[in-house]
A and B are shown apart, each in its own frame.
Chain A
Amino acid sequence: MSPRRAAAGGTIDRSRPVGFTFDGVKMSGHEGDMLASALLANGVLLVGRSFKYHRPRGIFAAGADEPNALVTVLRDGIREPNIPATQIELHEGLRVESQNRFPSLDYDFGALAQLAGPLLSAGFYYKTFMGPVAGPLKGTRLWMFCERFIRRAAGLGRADHKPDPARYERMNAFCEVLVVGGGVAGLMAAEAAAKSGKRVILAEQEPRLGGMARWSGEEIGSKPAREWAEGLAARLARMDNVQVLSRTTVWGYYDGNTLAALERVGDHLPRRPGDMPRHRHWTIRAAKVILATGSIERPIVFPGNDRPGIMLAGAAMRYAAEYGVLPGEKIAIFTNNDSAYRAATVLKAAGASIAAIIDVRKEISTAAQALAGEAGVVPLLGHAVVGTSGKRLQRVILRRFDPQTGLVSGDSRPISADFLAVSGGWSPAIHLASQAGGKPRWDDFLQAFLPPVPQQDWSGAGALTGGMTTAAALKTGRSAGRAAAGQKPSRARLPQTEEPGLDPSPAPVLEIRAGGKAFVDFQHDVTADDVRLAHREGFVSVEHLKRYTTLGMATDQGRTSNVPGLAILAEARGISIPEAGTTRFRPPYSPVPIGALAAERHRHFKPDRLTPMHDWHLEHGARMMEAGLWHRPQIYGQAGETVEQAYVREAKAVREAVGIVDVSTLGKIAVKGPDAAEFLDRVYTNIFSTLKVGRARYGLMLREDGIALDDGTTWRLGEHDFLMTTTTANAGKVMQHLEYYLDLVWPELRVHLTSVTDQWAGAAVAGPRSRDVLEACISGTGIDDETLPFMGIVHGEIDGAPVMVCRLSFSGELAYEVYCGAGHGIHVWEALMEAGGPFGIAPYGMEALGALRIEKGHVTGAEIDGRTTARDLYLDWMLSKKKPFIGSALMDREGLIDKGRIRLVGIVSLDDRPLGGGAHIVEDSTSEGLGTSIGHITAFCYSPQLERYIGLALVKGGKARHGTRARVSDPLRDRFGPVEIVSHHFFDPEGKRMHG
């Protein structure tokens, strides 16, 4: 008989059908169903295939603990694999597929793996595939060949490569009390804290609050527990100082009481409204945390325990009581504790017949006896299930069992049943508590781990703390809530509960050893024998066990397998469970979509930095390129031009007439104060205190270890007022470098630093006609040689906008850098363009800028790469001998002045073919193979001036090689050929043009 929907009962709305498909088959459930309950109601017992042996598996649990029933959700044109059917809220049009089967769930070729079962025991992969010493499969090749097939068989669901179209959102929240878990204890805690006026967030992973009260069938405060919980939840939702988050899993407990939570905002809706994110990633910083995370039922391990039709007793009870689903007609119960007796009565009341209650214990509580009577059976005490049969469960096989010795005896006895509900007791859900730090404590009475002594500011309530009754949940919930709010314990009466007085202590029996495959970790197919084999091979620490067998490493994070696995290991080692230890729980508590964690950065990643002239560049045909976060014009291409043709045209314009380039991205730092000059003397290798007001100087900085850090010009605008420029890439780094010294090393210096990169827009106007351009548009200042000599600074106006102009040159031409407030940037730029029109002004991009600087032999980040010294770059003339500076103490260490270091040179292609950045240089005598590298090319271009391909390179020996031939060796681009090593000052080495 298949499972079916009971005629009545549960919280589903039988008047509202919901259509969905499973493996393409149309089915129907009801509003309020989970996919798991709807599948059961449609008679579906086989839902998935296991990881290793591809064994048929059914729904085993309810909620987040499900190990077996993982499905792939098809939505918005993408595949989302590995979602537990127990966590998917049924909605119209839901489409899901089963996983890890071929060609179909019923007939799966992968199940052949079961034939090789004994071979595929723990450690199998480590013991073979080693490969021969010689031949085509030598070394690791044999493994790589086999691995391809192994990988195809492994894995669970299939994901596609389509981008995820969903939108995710991030939320930061602060509260005084965060309550995790919306069961009875959590509700009470939230209410108690909220009544004291505290700002409370209550998070519950399920769609609805109430936890077990929703299906326990108990009474609280003379009302059905569900009604009581719903009433309290509604009251909390109405309070201004309480935020109730349902469908929200708190999954991480980080340092400083920072918790991470995932809110599934829109997954349960047939269609999300346009502005609704799919998920919301919460970072909650809470002054106090109350963990009311409840407990998790665990199974007993016995042969044949993974057959579809076997389920945790608490889950079976929940499907019947909350969803009105009968998972079987004739139900057997197998337990080591009282809680399953309650499941028996609920299942009976829902219309099933109870075939038997099989209990490993020899004696049970009177409450359990009474419940057994209610269920209409006499429990078979001192018995255990030793096997099962049927494609879907048809029979369970029993034998006598001695809980003292763990031995089975007597004859096998089959019992006919189409469903088996199992309970091995309950483990507090200590995951978050363990993430917060500390070691869990074993409790013999509950046969479970209790949370560690808090290392952060949290307290526990409800089943987490070992209080397994509803009365205990009410009491500990309220007291935790009051304590978190700084209130004394209340003397007021708690609501009365009507619940059976069950014994919470299970028998210490978690495995029945009777031969045959008995699964501990269902999803990863780890059997009890695997655990014992690992022990036999010496993998006796819990971590070794986990790693050797993969126990507890599946998507359910071993929620149901953790304690049984430990129990088997402890038994094998002849020690107690706490002596065997437990593994550390790590975030996340349950899997979190990666997109949700990326949140608003999904598909954006990093902010874009755009200069004030960005739109102009685009409108004028610029092709943009990445420079850190900045976007900069690479070239302003014209129709039909190659990149090289474009930059050669632009560079020629600069050398022959005038060009303009956007330099707004340069780092700019205002250095002000009476000691500003002294400060600059310390951070630059050269002297700035002698710089006159109204003049600029090129400066070089080293790191403390004597390696070059950055270069740029610094302008003295006033006696105590400097404007420093840095390279685009190092702007932030240099700022932090300066702040570090000012704050921590020389706090006595009266200097203030302000980053003004974004406040200034900058344009460099370069070329023999640059003065003409400026003259045509600037007012309020002269720009003749007298007023504005090389490295001089003037202030004026361009078309009404105040500007500051410095005559300096990166291109080697007569050139001016024009700075104005960023808001005027586009205005000034356009004015310069207009003024330049008659002189043939051309905007130029990074490629032309690069070509011009290479011709001049100026260094940039490609040469100042964090490994080169000032000497390597022939900038030793900038190392002042008159004063110490950052880096001066260590820059002369033997390794930094070694003759074999690579140093800056120029190179010329002798075969008239382009060179390439990153190509290596080898000696000309190289005859065989690639030869030994003596350096590499840092930058290259076609030089319109030399009409050759030239480059800068760092080569061993540097200057000593000038005039010699070498070879470029670029195997990655298959480019080899002769080059000549020359001075890096290719063009106008005396600098006549820029001075002229």
Chain B
Amino acid sequence: MAEYSALSLLKNAFSGNRGWKPAWRKASPKPAYDVIVVGGGGHGLATAYYLAAEHGIRKVAVLEKGWLGSGNIGRNTTIVRSNYLLPESIRFYDHSVKLWENLSHQLNYNVMFSQRGVLNLAHSPAQVDDYIRRGNAMRHEGGDGIWLSPAQIARYAPGVDVSSSARFPVVGGLLQPRAGTARHDAVAWGYARAADRLGVDIIENCEVTGFLRDGDEITGVATSRGDIRGKKVAVAVAGSTGRVMKLAGIENLPIESHVLQAFVSESIKPFVDCVVTFGAGHLYMSQSDKGGLVFGGSLDLYNSYAQRGNLPLVEEVMSEITAMFPAVAKLRLLRSWGGVMDMSMDGSPIITKGPLPGMYLNCGWCYGGFKATPASGYSFAWTIAKDEPHPINAPFTLSRFERGVIIDEKGQGPTPKLH
């Protein structure tokens, strides 16, 4: 398959763009694989790619119920960051940022990762302490974090209301310069194309309807396109984890499914350069390359598997955005949509071997799945290939709740909607 480059673009431009080939083959299922990855979203595709690229395991199938990347990989607000508080999280997400930095090159696909910075606004002395603790934690783990004064914020992100007349005046902000945004769909397509080139079969419109078992052991999956055997079966279906795991007889998990809405405004000329989050509420905003302001807020706050949101939350998010950026009030909301999140009991993900023999589970991503895509795929592939976790995913077990070794970034405890 042809390399993507400026040269190949030029050559194709002169031949009417007729030379381009499909980004990935439309594979049909084979009877058996070394690894079956259930879920053709970002994490599943990344896992397949790293299995092939890092561990030489190429007899891999990725099974996707609908069209590739139809889940949260294409429904998020595209933010990539590692500005976490707890060392376990910082190590994991910073590993991810490092993979992001070279991802376009590695995949030969421009995922448009742009390190435009993520700025968290703080509005009270307590919040300042909290964010400074976080920034310092990042720095002690080798990451990047800078503290900005209101005057510096006014220069860095013009339009943010730093006046003392704001309802919650800005008293400072934590900036992670290496954080930024990427083009969400491109991540799915880039991993798919790169995995395909290494021999991975990407099988769309193939719904898993059951698991094949030999006693307790999982030996493959039953699908809408027939049974497929797999020496190892890896599940990466965040948003549908409950539904898929029930097929394997796992009735309960430390996860609830919730809907998260995202929004985009009409396209305008460059308006805000970095990602800004509003500390007096729950809001994050950035501007896409196309010019739309992309923003999101809190969950709709009830269990849901529907990709549709509610109106009160829309109003809440819009009032937050006008509180942070009063100029945005006159701009217009173009589109809203919803994604289904795996909200875990401590707000952190689960990447683990098990819970059944022959099975591997990657789930519980809450809001954080997009940025984690490379590290999640990387460490999940490692866990599958070596049957032991990589140091970055070792803390993210399923058993941590029983053991009380919880990784609770927000300190909200076992109330998933609050993470």
Direct contact of A and B (CB under 8 A): yes
A258, B315: Cα distance in complex, Å: 14
Show 9 A/B contacts (Cβ-Cβ < 8 Å), sorted by A. A131-B104, A161-B158, A437-B308, A536-B20, A536-B22, A602-B329, A605-B167, A606-B167, A895-B400
Cβ-based interface call for B124 (8 A): yes
* Residue A969 at the chain B interface, CB threshold 8 Å: yes
The answer to whether B136 and A972 have CB atoms under 8 Å apart is yes
Q: A598 interface residue, CB < 8 Å from B?
A: yes
B104 touches A143 (CB 8 A): yes
Q: Is the CB–CB distance between A594 and B114 below 8 Å?
A: no
From B18, which residue of chain A is reached at the shortest CB distance? Answer: A536
Q: How far is the CB of B4 from chain A (nearest CB, A)?
A: 4
0/1 string, A144-177, CB within 8 A of B gives 1: 1001001110111111111110101000000000
A587 within 8 A of B: yes
User: Chain A residues with Cβ under 8 A from B155's Cβ?
Assistant: none
A133 at the interface (CB under 8 A from B): yes
Known A893-B402, A971-B135; further 5 A-B contacts with Cβ < 8 A: A128-B9, A140-B104, A155-B290, A544-B67, A936-B136
B214 vs chain A, min Cβ distance (A): 34
Verify A625–B319 contact, CB threshold 8 A.
no
Interface-forming stretch among A286-294, A316-324, A388-396, A862-870? A862-870
**Does A618 make an interface contact (CB < 8 A)?**
no
Q: Does A19 sit at the interface, judged by CB under 8 A?
A: no
A605 — which chain B residues lie within 8 A by C-beta? 167-168, 280-281, 319-320, 322-323
A597 within 8 A of B: yes
Hey, which chain B residues are within 8 Å of A947, CB to CB?
A: none
The residue from A143, A163, A896 contacting B113, defined by CB atoms under 8 A apart? A143
Judged by a CB distance under 8 angstroms, whether B132 is at the interface is yes
- B55 in the interface, Cβ–Cβ < 8 Å? no
Evaluate contact between B268 and A159: CB separation under 8 angstroms. yes
CA distance A625 to B268 in the complex (A): 36
With a cutoff of 8 Å between Cβ atoms, the chain A residues found around residue B128 in the complex are 917-918
A82 at the binding interface (Cβ < 8 Å): yes
Known: A143-B104, A606-B280, A917-B132. A588 touches B333 (CB 8 A): yes
- Residues A555 and B404 in contact, CB atoms below 8 Å apart: no
Q: Does B330 contact A155, Cβ atoms closer than 8 Å?
A: no
Q: A159-B327, A894-B405, A933-B136 are in contact. Are A533 and B20 (CB under 8 A)?
A: yes
Chain B residues near A936: list those with CB within 8 A: 133, 136-137
A745 to B172, CA, bound (A): 43
CB pair A255–B310 under 8 Å, yes or no, is: yes
Let me know if B268 and A81 touch, CB within 8 A.
yes
Residue among A152, A536, A553, A598 with max Cβ neighbours from chain B (10 Å): A598
CA distance A103 to B37 in the complex (A): 53
* A593 and B139 form a contact (CB under 8 A): no
With beta carbons under 8 angstroms apart, the residue of A51, A140, A160, A550 that contacts B327 is A160
Does chain A have a CB within 8 A of B115? yes
Q: Is the CB of A129 within 8 A of B330?
A: no
- Nearest 6 A-B pairs (CB), nearest first? A866-B411, A893-B404, A595-B329, A155-B291, A918-B132, A917-B129
**Are B133 and A918 in touch, CB under 8 angstroms?**
yes
Complex: A634 Cα to B414 Cα, angstroms: 34
Contacts A81-B268, A533-B17 given; indicate if A918 touches B318 (C-beta within 8 A): no
Which residues of A sit under 8 angstroms from B68, Cβ to Cβ? 544
B289 nearest CB across to chain A (Å): 6
Asked whether B17 lies within 8 Å of A529 as measured between CB atoms, the reply is: yes
Q: In whole angstroms, what is the CA distance A561 to B139 when docked?
A: 50
Residues of A within 8 A of B14 (CB): 118
For B169, what are the chain A residues with a Cβ–Cβ distance below 8 Å? Answer: 626
A133 near B102 with CB under 8 A, answer yes
Q: Whole-angstrom distance between the alpha carbons of A258 and B320 in the complex? A: 22
Query: Per-position contact with A for B265-283: 1 when CB-CB < 8 Å, else 0?
Result: 1111111000000001100
List residues of chain B with CB within 8 A of the CB of A156. 266-269, 291
Is residue B387 within 8 Å, beta carbon to beta carbon, of the partner chain? no
Number of interface residues of A (CB under 8 A): 122
Contacts of B308 in A (CB 8 A): 254-255, 437
Chain A residues within an 8 Å CB radius of B320: 605
Using known A-B contacts A159-B327, A627-B124, A866-B410, determine if residue A82 contacts B266 with beta carbons closer than 8 Å: yes
* CA–CA, A22 and B394, complex, Å: 63
Q: Which residues of chain B are within 8 angstroms of A784 by Cβ–Cβ distance?
A: none
- A592–B4 Cα distance when bound, in Å, is 39
Interface residues of B in 95-124 (CB under 8 A from A): 100-105, 108-110, 112-116, 123-124
A residues near B281, Cβ cutoff 8 Å? 605-606
How many angstroms between the C-alpha atoms of A554 and B226 in the bound complex? Answer: 40
Interchain CA distance A936-B130 in the complex, whole Å? 10
Work out how many contacts link A and B, with CB atoms closer than 8 A. 374
Contacting pair B5 A543 (CB below 8 A): no
Q: Taking the complex as formed, is A202 at the interface, i.e. its CB lies under 8 A from any CB of chain B? A: no
Assembled-state Cα–Cα distance A938/B132 (Å): 11
Stretch at the interface among B184-192, B237-245, B363-371, B375-383: B184-192
Q: Please judge, given known A-B contacts A154-B289, A536-B22, A537-B23, whether A592 and B412 are in contact too, CB under 8 Å.
A: no
Residues on the B chain within 8 Å of A258, using CB: 311
Distance from B116 Cβ to chain A, minimum over Cβ atoms (Å):
8
Cα distance, A745 to B268, chains bound together (Å): 53
Contact of A543 with B4 in the complex, beta carbons under 8 Å: no
**Contact between B290 and A969 (Cβ–Cβ < 8 Å)?**
no
Which one of B140-148, B215-223, B350-358 is at the interface? Answer: B140-148
Measured CA separation A634–B287 after assembly (Å): 37
Binary per-residue interface labels of chain B (380-396) against chain A in the complex, 1 for a CB within 8 Å, 0 otherwise: 00000000000000000
Closest residue on chain B to residue A954 by CB atoms: B133
CB within 8 Å for A126 and B311 given contacts A151-B291, A605-B280, A705-B414: no
Number of interface residues of B (CB under 8 A): 119
Q: Which residues of A contact B114 (CB under 8 A)?
A: 140, 143-144, 147
Other-chain contact of B268, A82, A626, A918 (Cβ < 8 Å): A82
Is A218 close to B, CB under 8 A? no
Residues of A within 8 Å of B135, CB to CB, are 918, 971-972
A601 within 8 A of B: yes
Interface membership of B321, Cβ < 8 A:
yes
CA distance A125 to B109 in the complex (A): 9
**CA–CA, A437 to B349, complex, Å?**
31
How many Å lie between the Cα of A121 and that of B13 in the bound state?
A: 8
Which of B133, B186, B322, B335 is in CB contact (< 8 Å) with A917? B133
B50 CB-CB contact with A under 8 Å: no
Minimum Cβ distance to chain A for residue B77 (Å): 15
Q: Which residues of A contact B318 (CB under 8 A)?
A: 594-595, 597-598
Q: How far is the CB of A126 from chain B (nearest CB, A)?
A: 5
Do the beta carbons of B115 and A144 come within 8 Å of each other?
yes
**B334 contacts partner chain A, Cβ-Cβ < 8 Å:** yes
Q: A150 near B289 (CB under 8 angstroms)?
A: yes
Which residue of chain B lies nearest to A587 when distances are taken between CB atoms in the complex? Answer: B336
Contact among A81, A166, A634 with B331 in the assembled complex (CB-CB below 8 Å) = A81
Q: When chains A and B are docked, how far (Å) is the Cα of A594 from the Cα of B404?
A: 43
Query: How far, in angstroms, from A359 to B113 measured CA to CA in the complex?
Result: 49
Q: Counting CB contacts under 8 A, is B34 at the interface?
A: no
- Max count, chain B CB within 10 A of own CB: residue among A161, A252, A538, A550: A538
Contact of A130 among B4, B271, B329, B334 (CB under 8 A): B4
Residues of B within 8 A of A898 (CB): 405
Say whether B24 faces chain A, with CB atoms less than 8 Å apart.
Answer: yes
**Contact of A130 with B336 at beta-carbon distance under 8 Å, contacts A895-B406, A918-B128 already known:** no
Asked if B185 and A918 make an inter-chain contact with CB atoms under 8 angstroms apart, the answer reads no
| Contact of A539 with B140 at beta-carbon distance under 8 Å, contacts A127-B8, A159-B331 already known | no
A349 within 8 A of B: no
Contact of A920 with B189 in the complex, beta carbons under 8 Å = no
Question: Is A132 interfacial (CB 8 A cutoff)?
Answer: yes
Min CB–CB distance B334 → chain A (angstroms): 5
Query: Inside 8 A of A7's CB, which chain B residues have their CB?
Result: none
Whether B249 sits at the interface, judged by CB under 8 Å, is: no
Interface: B26 (CB within 8 A): yes
**Contact: B22 with A538, CB < 8 Å?**
yes
List residues of chain A with CB within 8 A of the CB of B103: 140
Contact A139 B335 (CB under 8 A): no
Query: What's the Cα separation between A865 and B116 when bound, in Å?
Result: 31
The answer to whether A118 touches B13 (Cβ under 8 A) is: yes
